[in-house]
Structure 1
Amino acid sequence: MKKSFFLHISACAIMGMASCANKLDVQPDTLVSPDQVNSSNVGLVLNGARLALTNNAFYNYYILTEIMGDDVQTTSLQGYELCNIPVTDNSLTIAYRYPFACVNNANVVIRYYSAHTGEAALRPIAGEAYLLRAYAYMLLNEQFGKVAIMDGTEDPLSYPERQSEEKVKAEIEANLLKAVELLPDAGGKPLKGSKQAAQLLLARFYLNNGKFAEAENLANAVITSGKFALLDEKFDEIFKYNTASKEMVYAVAEVSSGVNNTKQGLPGVYGPGSGRAGGANIWIDSNLVKSYENTDIRKPFFTRMKGSSITDTVWFLVKFPEELQPSYPICRYSEAFLIAAEAKARTGTVDVTRYNELRAKRKASLAANGDFANAAAFLDAIELERRREFVGERHRWQDMRRFGKAIPWLEGFQQPAGHVIFPIPERLFTLNPTLQQNDDY
């Protein structure tokens, strides 16, 4: 019974469209009646939320915005490479659909917890549901701007309106604050949500939205929690499935394929092929690779070879281990150090302490406050360090937006400013011709 429940609860159908403008049909279809949820199986519903988010294709979320930016290049997905995404692109449907499926499952958990708050064992389950719901809305907002907000109490035949970005961001913040309240401290299991995971995602959210004091305080709370540690060797250990590394704060994993296939997930898109994972058609900007110092423990995780569909020899990213069960980093400990450094620099203060703590563990040269003429110069260094640290991990496009690089980048491709986000998939307009498309599409 539990297995059947789990399979149904993780299969959410949310596509469709209403008959009026700006309304998206994101009706949940969990195929499970509310009276089937109980304290014994609500954890399975939470697991369904994780799996609904990944849908064994989570790599799409990592490569699409990375390809739009300046670190990752490709001969495929040219709409993203040129920042001019066709509304007919199939990847748009994936990018739109599965975060909503995660929201639907998280709503089931949260509604059940709201009716049983006296059961202490439900707190971490509900806490991670709030965490996942916040992250799903972060994905949707970053990719599409305005999106529908659901709490699971909607009429199944209703069509929730796309809410303003301000309301979506308020929803993200509220969910992360609730996750901080409910989740326990990290216990060495990065595939489970923790208080520090919620704090770090909230710090990222505040940084991206100009709340620098709040971002710095939360980042420092994660750093001083005593639950994590930076590595100075074996950098790829961080990214292994269910890693024991104290650098991974939170990750999600796909279901194992059940066959002896280690060529999936992030290695399968970034890898060089030729006996290794990857299609050899997505590679890393050579100037970024050359920016690593020879002693840097991150530098060995690039390999230079000729790709399958290009004439040049290029650099491929190989830091993600080839495993039977792909795992994806949501937030890592190193991010807290760079958020703390950047947030302080955004207020005009040059303080290299957190920046140096990370670089020391990466075996890169250290800096002094006096090495930077002003906070703007230090921010340039932080931006480059973020590129080195998080290449391939879906940070770069949001960083480019925050550092003022995205609009000039779009202009270089003769694309309008509205292309900082994706278009609404055309499939939705087939069902609702009056839906309003995102600006400049």
Structure 2
Amino acid sequence: MSIMKIIYKIQYSIASLLLVACLLSCDKSLDKPVPDTSIPLEKVQPGDLPLLLRGAYRPLGIYYQPYPVWDIYSDDITSIQGSSPAQFNPRSYDDCNPNVQDGFGNGRLYNSAYTAIGNANFIINYIRTKGLTDYNSILGEALTIRAYNYYRLAEAYGGVILTLDLETDISVIRRDKNTEEEVYAHITKDLTDAIPLLGDFKSADNVSKPAAQLLLARTYLHLGKNKEAYDLSEEVIKSGKNKLSEGDFGDNFRYASKSSEMLWRLSEPITGYERGGLYTMYSPPPPFRGAGIGLTWVDPTLAQSYEPGDIRASLLLKRHNNTIGEAVTYLLKFSTDTLQPSSNAFIVYPIARISEAYLISAEAAARQGQVVVTRYNELRKARGSSQKLATAFANTTAFLAEIEAERRRELVGEGRRWQDMKRFGKAIPYLQSKGQDATRLFLPFNSTELLRNIKLSQNKGY
């Protein structure tokens, strides 16, 4: 039975878990898988694994709508996606945030994550079943891809369905979700297994050991395992291949970048509006060349928090917004005007930058009762901001508040803020200020998914 035929047996969004199979077409095309040219499962050879791995990376790029969800959901970014002042995010909450019918990238987030997981599952099970130790680096990359996508799902929905094998039995896949704790336990296991298999950093376009270590440090910080988070973040910093940028902050987000700050990224060429969503989402409207829709901008309190000389502020642009009749601050991290030549423009999706390791190190130490300003100051020095003594902070609570503010300045637009708000105790008060409650800490499962799998229970509050 061809792998493509196996796919047809599962009419479910997790059916895309087996999509990797059709990537092995005779012409090695990743763009146009054809059932008639798919290689039968029994004919897949170890030499095909690099192509399969490319397929595992590729679904992550179906990303433009889901990528900024957590920034717009949070207090970092203001949005009037409904195009009227009455629909400030989230004044008219469900107009500007993911809802059951799909909303802002909800369905795409779910589907793209499971597509990547399915592709990774094929590689992981193939290598392990056949004992292909010569392909350990590919195994490590696939494990990291799977872990990262389960992290995306867990932060979005809490508990989700864990599927780790090439399931063809529909009853195994159509079931209720695993608990959030079970999902995070598996994320931790996959990353722990991956790290010793991976090599040193060579390119941000591929998973490396420090990239997986940083993802695991991020996971540990979320789980409150602060010693483990601290130790791993320090290993990433001390690995030596990646350095903080000190001059051109925008170079971190260029496709043809000379910076080594980016540990892992995804990128895709801009071929039209639907494929260039980050700059159209964040940039100002015409005559700015990025031709954004002009309805999404940085929170004014955050925009005003950068010190004079902070190089990160170079990617902020203040412009009059005709819809609300006020000046607002746009984010240019992904703009073709400031970062990419229009003749060769790529959207870069940051997954992990080494600057986060500095912030995790400082936060994890503080959560263990220590005010250690070393890594915090190193990051601020690279960004052109002032240095601070440990005595400037009355206690660890005050230092944690400053780390939270520094994370906002550093990572705005990169999808980290909502998890930060939950960890720093800001999410529920923010929701309450908008007339919502703790049920909105997570997104709803899409209505299409609920129809496909009637055993899947909806998250509370939807």
- TM score, norm. by length of structure 2: 0.86
Q: Which residue of 2 is the match for residue 126 of structure 1? A: 139
Q: Which residue of 1 is the match for residue 305 of structure 2? A: 291
In structure 2, C-alpha distance between the alignment counterparts of 1:179 and 1:247, rounded to whole Å: 21
Correspondence 1:198 to 2:212: yes
Secondary structure in structure 1 of the residue aligned to 2:328? strand
Q: Which residue of 1 is the match for residue 434 of structure 2? A: 413
Once the 2 structures are TM-superposed, how far is the Cα of residue 265 of structure 1 from its aligned partner? 4.1
Correspondence 1:28 to 2:18: yes
1:207–1:215 contact (8 Å) kept in structure 2: yes
Secondary structure in structure 2 of the residue aligned to 1:422? coil
Match of 2:449 among 419, 428, 434: 428
In structure 1, C-alpha distance between the alignment counterparts of 2:397 and 2:111, rounded to whole Å: 39
Q: In structure 2, what residue type is equivalent to 1:98?
A: S
Q: Which residue of 1 is the match for residue 157 of structure 2? A: 144
In structure 2, C-alpha distance between the alignment counterparts of 1:41 and 1:25, rounded to whole Å: 22
Q: 1:427 to 1:80 in 2, by over 3 A?
A: farther
Q: Which residue of 2 is the match for residue 316 of structure 1? A: 330
In structure 2, C-alpha distance between the alignment counterparts of 1:375 and 1:237, rounded to whole Å: 33
Q: Which residue of 2 is the match for residue 243 of structure 1? A: 257
- Pairing 1:104-123 to 2, within 5 Å after superposition: 104-120=118-134, 122-123=135-136
Q: In structure 1, what residue type is equivalent to 2:54?
A: N
- Pairing 1:55-94 to 2, within 5 Å after superposition: 55=62, 58-76=63-81, 81-82=90-91, 83-84=93-94, 85-90=98-103, 91-94=105-108
Q: Which residue of 2 is the match for residue 181 of structure 1? A: 196
In structure 1, C-alpha distance between the alignment counterparts of 2:355 and 2:46, rounded to whole Å: 36
Secondary structure in structure 2 of the residue aligned to 1:81? coil
Q: In structure 2, what residue type is equivalent to 1:101?
A: T
- Pairing 1:211-360 to 2, within 5 Å after superposition: 211-241=225-255, 243-254=257-268, 256-257=269-270, 259=271, 264-274=276-286, 275-277=288-290, 278-307=292-321, 309-322=323-336, 323=340, 324-360=345-381
Once the 2 structures are TM-superposed, how far is the Cα of residue 238 of structure 1 from its aligned partner? 0.6
Q: CA RMSD in A?
A: 2.5
2:318–2:327 contact (8 Å) kept in structure 1: yes
Once the 2 structures are TM-superposed, how far is the Cα of residue 430 of structure 1 from its aligned partner? 3.0
Q: 1:113 to 1:307 in 2, by over 3 A?
A: farther
Using CA pairs under 8 Å that are at least 6 residues apart, name the structure with larger relative contact order, 1 or 2. Answer: 1
In structure 1, C-alpha distance between the alignment counterparts of 2:331 and 2:257, rounded to whole Å: 19
Correspondence 1:43 to 2:64: no
Q: Which runs of 5+ in 1 are unaligned?
A: 18-23
Q: 1:436 to 1:263 in 2, by over 3 A?
A: closer
Deviations 1:77-114 (A, max 9, x none): 66963554431124221111110000000011112211
In structure 2, C-alpha distance between the alignment counterparts of 1:253 and 1:145, rounded to whole Å: 27
In structure 1, C-alpha distance between the alignment counterparts of 2:375 and 2:144, rounded to whole Å: 26
2:78–2:88 contact (8 Å) kept in structure 1: no
Structure 1 stretches of 4+ with a deviation exceeding 6 A read 11-15, 260-263
Q: Which runs of 5+ in 2 are unaligned?
A: 23-37
Deviations 1:135-194 (A, max 9, x none): 00000011011111112232343343311111101110011112202110112x110110
Once the 2 structures are TM-superposed, how far is the Cα of residue 325 of structure 1 from its aligned partner? 2.3
Q: 1:182 to 1:353 in 2, by over 3 A?
A: same
Correspondence 1:100 to 2:120: no
Q: In structure 1, what residue type is equivalent to 2:281?
A: V
Secondary structure in structure 2 of the residue aligned to 1:330? strand
1:14–1:27 contact (8 Å) kept in structure 2: no
Q: 1:38 to 1:321 in 2, by over 3 A?
A: farther
Q: In structure 1, what residue type is equivalent to 2:191?
A: L
Once the 2 structures are TM-superposed, how far is the Cα of residue 116 of structure 1 from its aligned partner? 4.1
Q: Percent same amino acid among aligned pairs?
A: 37
Secondary structure in structure 2 of the residue aligned to 1:394? coil
